[in-house]
Amino acid sequence: MKIISWNVNSLRAREPLIEKIIKTEAPDIFCLQELKILDKEYVENFFNQFSLKTVAETQKSYNGVSVSCKSEIVLNENPLKRLNMTQARNNTVIIKDKNLAILNCYFPNGNPIDTDKFTNKLEWMKLLYKEIEILKKEYEVLLMGDFNVIPDDEDAHDIKKYKNDALAQPESRKEFYKLINLDLIDVFKTTPKKQSYTFFDYKTYKFGKEEGIRIDFFLLSPFLKSKVMKLKVLKEYRDMDRPSDHCPILIDLNI
DNA sequence: ATGACCTGACCATCAGGA
């Protein structure tokens, strides 16, 4: 089962690259973040072109997430969809015949740190923690997306720049490691040579610098970790015409 | 030290991103 997660920074702006990745990689499950579009029917129709069915959570201008999958996969949508009632930042699908819960997330940014944006970020992460605590009792858990957390100093090219940034605050890291302590494995971290930055700022990367951060993750329950066949940050999509500032990440599971 | 660049909303310029 090949799965791709990607913060596309606008569905409409990224349609050519989304089409390319679907045709090139043929993912069984394709999870997007930051759709930046309200029209849910438009999102569903877009993926229908490629014979993918879609579950989307949308809102005007900001946020928005979708899980698309091949038609033969039977989805059971989790009734607990939004962690936050006003922001479309997560959706969960259950694949019952594989005993699998897939959580697709776009964590809040949380800047600036002296505002309620930061406390709301931490609150959102706590709600996610509670949701996973429930789901892990019944299902294998695959948590993925844009976490907006730099878990370790080595996950940034220059951690000093993030001293006052919500992404690298001790409180943000604490909530991240609480998720890890639910028996979820940061599979890029634990697989030799697979770690790579996943985000490259538009303002710096155009000069060809390697100034990135690692903020997009697959967190897997131990059983799923034992089934990993392939794992990759698809960095080439950051170098194509009109890219997202995030790279797609890919995992192939033998399930 | 600062700003850079991109997107959507909407029409000139700003919020938000990270």
Domain ranges in chain A are 2-253
Per-residue pLDDT at A2: 98
User: Cα–Cα distance between A14 and A18 in angstroms, integer?
Assistant: 6
A163 touches strand B (CB under 7 A): no
Q: How many angstroms is C1' of B7 away from CA of A56?
A: 20
Mean pLDDT, residues A151-173 taken together = 95
Q: Which of residues 175-194 of A touch strand B (CB under 7 A)?
A: none
Per-residue pLDDT at A192: 87
Instruction: Count CA within 13 A, CB hemisphere, residue A18.
Output: 26
Output the CA torsion A77→A24→A37→A168 (10° steps): 80
Q: How many angstroms is C1' of B18 away from CA of A186?
A: 21
Q: Tell me which of A209 and A78 has the higher pLDDT.
A: A209
Q: What residue spans of chain A are helical by DSSP H?
A: 15-25, 40-48, 116-135, 170-180, 187-190, 202-205, 222-225
In the DSSP assignment, the letter for residue A137 is: T
> Over the stretch A185-203, which tens digit does the pLDDT of each residue have?
999 999 988 889 999 999 8
Query: In the CATH hierarchy, which fold is given to the domain comprising A2-253?
Result: Deoxyribonuclease I; Chain A (3.60.10)
A202 touches strand B (CB under 7 A): yes
Per-residue pLDDT at A30: 98
Per-residue pLDDT at A78: 66
Mean pLDDT, residues A26-37 taken together = 98
